[in-house]
């Protein structure tokens, strides 16, 4: 199973990872956590009902990666701002939707990244500098969410927006400084694809 996930009997998935791969995934998940930001502040209300209705931001993030992770619900991020009433209404709907959903979305992405780090920290060495990671179905879903977020983040940094961009990164010369990021993007894509296949009935 080197380099890709395989299904486990009874559900779940397994993948063999060497020490370098474990270190890369852990580092990327940690960076994702730092990018998404901390959880609720210590002075947040203890009342779960109040926390449920706590409002989040209404404006999209300035960072292009966060914009990709938390896109507007009703606006095309690539669309040039228009002055039409319809465009204004879409922006208003997007702001309202963001205000009531982004906090929960950020929390879910944090939990997924933390689940990846936690499962890697629990790995027992399997010899020769590697280990076999075994995930339950629920853990597989969290990993899938985190892998997707990591690829979105890397893809945003590489300015990948469509298939043509993906084709061009395959042809980067080895001396290009983006090459390691491209290799990580492609490798994570392989992990993501094979993990999806283990979750299919």
Determine the average pLDDT of the residues in 102-114. Answer: 93
Question: 6-7 and 13-18: which strand pairing?
Answer: antiparallel
pLDDT at 68 over 70: yes
pLDDT at 75 over 70: no
Backbone angles phi, psi at 137, to 5 degrees: -60, -45
Determine the length of the chain. 201
Determine the average pLDDT of the residues in 172-193. Answer: 91
Decide if 16 contacts 130 (C-beta within 8 A): yes
Among 87-96, 119-128, 149-158, 183-192, the minimum mean pLDDT is found in: 87-96
Rounded to the nearest integer, the mean pLDDT of the chain is 83
pLDDT at 42 over 50: no
Cα separation, 170 vs 177, whole angstroms: 14
Task: Give 15 or 161, the one with higher predicted confidence.
Answer: 15
Task: Give the number of other Cβ atoms within 10 Å of residue 122's Cβ.
Answer: 9
pTM confidence score? 0.82
Q: In what order do the strands lie in the sheet with 13-18?
A: 6-7, 13-18, 130-135
Task: Give 72 or 51, the one with higher predicted confidence.
Answer: 72
- The residues near 51 (Cβ < 8 Å, ≥ 6 apart) are 40, 44, 45
Decide if 35 contacts 150 (C-beta within 8 A): no
Grade residue 1 by pLDDT with cuts at 50, 70 and 90. Answer: very low
Task: Give 59 or 70, the one with higher predicted confidence.
Answer: 70
Per-residue DSSP letter, 51 = H
pLDDT at 201 over 80: no
């Amino acid at each position: 199973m080197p380099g890709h996930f395989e299904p486990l009997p009874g559900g779940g998935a397994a993948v063999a990872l060497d020490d370098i791969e474990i270190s890369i995934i852990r580092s990327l998940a940690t960076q994702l956590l730092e990018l998404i930001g901390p959880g609720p502040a210590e002075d947040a209300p203890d009342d779960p009902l109040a926390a449920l209705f706590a409002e989040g931001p209404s404006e999209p993030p300035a960072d292009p990666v966060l914009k990709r992770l938390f896109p507007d619900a009703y606006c095309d991020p690539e669309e040039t701002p228009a002055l039409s009433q319809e465009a204004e209404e879409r922006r208003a709907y997007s702001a309202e939707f963001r205000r009531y959903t982004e906090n929960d979305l950020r929390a879910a992405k944090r939990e997924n990244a933390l689940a990846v780090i936690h499962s890697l920290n629990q790995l027992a060495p399997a010899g020769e500098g590697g280990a076999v990671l075994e995930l339950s179905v629920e853990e597989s879903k969290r990993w899938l969410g985190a892998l997707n977020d990591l690829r979105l983040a890397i893809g945003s940094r590489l300015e990948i927006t469509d298939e043509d961009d993906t084709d061009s990164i395959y042809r980067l010369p080895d001396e290009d400084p983006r090459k390691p990021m491209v290799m990580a993007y492609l490798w994570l894509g392989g992990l993501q694809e094979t993990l999806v296949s283990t979750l299919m009935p």
